[in-house]
Amino acid sequence: MTAEDCLLHPWIKPITRIQAVHRHRSSINIKNFKRFNARRKWKMSYNMVWMCNRLVNLKLLCKGSTDPDPLQRDCESDVEDLDSKPASLLRRRLSSS
């Protein structure tokens, strides 16, 4: 198939007037979709920047407080859990190889 044949294909060039009108309407829909999509992406970007700024402000507010966070405390049991690995996990690794 040559380039000229491709340009004359019904998918590219409409055969009837009805197809031409339908193609024109779909191009208008594509323009509206592009405009809508651009607006949607802009709103998502704006919301992301707003949320990041809000999180930074909340972090600054939390740094000002002197109360220790119970979730960020160092415990002996936490350290022990990190250092020791369960034997079942080691057995799985050995059996899988």
Confidence of residue 65 (pLDDT cuts 50, 70, 90): low
Task: Give residue 39's pLDDT band: very low, low, confident or very high (50, 70, 90).
Answer: very high
Q: How confident is the model at residue 38 (pLDDT cuts 50, 70, 90)?
A: very high
What mean pLDDT value characterizes the chain?
77
DSSP letter at 73? -
d(CA 94, CA 58): 46
The predicted-structure confidence for 46-64, as pLDDT tens digits, reads as follows 999 999 999 999 998 888 7
Q: What is the pTM of this model?
A: 0.40
Domain-wise residue ranges, the chain: 1-64
